[in-house]
Amino acid sequence: MAENYRLRLMFEWGGGCIWVGDDTTRRQYGVGPIEDSLPLADETRRKLAAMTVWHDLSLNWEYPPDPGPWDAHEYERFEAAAFAMRDDFQSELGDRFSIVYEGLGFYEGRAESE
């Protein structure tokens, strides 16, 4: 029986956006960002890179504890694009993978519970 893998789509500052979500996946792919280890199309990799750059624009790089430059509308746009990216991953990788998007959770500099 083939293993099933759990992935987390979660953007980190400066890169990395696909992470393992359970021990089975960790044994297969290791730790840290694993997007380079997955059988993804070049177009998907380009989209991930663009999403990472877009994500990094949300941080106040001069003083990270302060609110970033995005307004609520930009956070909503990003979250919608990230959910669409998750759906694209799921279609591309198939049933052996379960992909969860872990949202940013920040709006106008305040943590928001999901």
- From first to last of its 114 residues, what are the pLDDT tens digits of the chain? 677 999 999 999 888 999 999 999 999 999 999 999 999 999 999 999 999 999 999 999 999 999 999 999 999 999 999 999 999 999 999 999 999 999 887 544 433 333
Taking a C-beta distance cutoff of 8 angstroms, is the pair 22, 98 a contact?
no
Contact 37, 19 (CB under 8 A): no
Q: How many domains does the chain have?
A: 1
| Spatial distance between the Cα atoms of 26 and 29, rounded to a whole number of angstroms | 5
Please give the model's pTM, rounded to 2 decimal places. Answer: 0.84
Q: Is the dihedral of CA 48, 99, 15, 81 positive or negative?
A: positive
Domain hosting residue 16, numbered range: 5-111
